[in-house]
């Protein structure tokens, strides 16, 4: 049973467009929400992370929006580039440091 639900399973976006990935959670004890980017055959790389006391965090073209009352958070990739084509995982954890991962979203950016 996944504690973090992620959607969509995959998406295709044109170069320069915006990719949006959504995640929802139930466990209100979660207090750290990272996003990871994974290329085929590689380990996940930490992309950006947020705490629930912040509603938005931006790093370059990547933005996390966080809605604590709705228990939802999302990743926006602005000005998507072909090099952004990868699988993205949302995750959540609390004081045991164990990450609960979403199912993953495969993003394809068409040139």
Q: Is 30 in the site for other proteins (CB under 8 A)?
A: no
Q: Is 75 in the site for other proteins (CB under 8 A)?
A: no
Q: Is 73 in the site for other proteins (CB under 8 A)?
A: no
Applying CB under 8 A, the span of 18-26, 45-53, 58-66, 75-83 interacting with other proteins comes to 45-53
* Pairwise CA distance, residues 33 & 24, whole Å: 11
**DSSP string over 28-80:** TT--BEEEEEE-TTS--EEEEEE-TT-SEEEETTEEEEEETTTTEEEEEE-S-
CB of 107 to other proteins, least distance (A): 14
* Pairwise CA distance, residues 74 & 85, whole Å: 17
Q: Which of 25, 36, 66, 73 binds other proteins (CB under 8 A)?
A: 36
Q: Which of 53, 83, 98, 111 binds other proteins (CB under 8 A)?
A: 98
CA distances (Å), origin 22, targets 41, 66, 69, 72, 111: 24, 10, 15, 7, 24
Residues that bind other proteins (CB under 8 A): 2, 32, 34, 36, 41-46, 49, 89, 93, 97-99, 101-104, 106
């Amino acid at each position: 049973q996944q504690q973090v639900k992620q959607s969509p399973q995959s998406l295709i976006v044109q170069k320069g467009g915006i990719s949006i990935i959504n995640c929802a959670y139930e466990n209100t004890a979660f207090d750290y929400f990272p996003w990871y980017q994974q290329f085929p055959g590689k380990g996940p790389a930490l992309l950006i992370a947020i705490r629930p006391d912040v509603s938005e965090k931006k790093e370059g073209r990547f933005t996390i929006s966080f809605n604590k009352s709705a228990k939802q958070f999302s990743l926006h990739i602005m000005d998507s580039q072909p090099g952004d084509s990868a699988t993205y995982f949302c995750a959540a954890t609390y004081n045991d440091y164990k990450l609960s991962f979403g199912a993953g979203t495969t993003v394809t950016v068409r040139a």
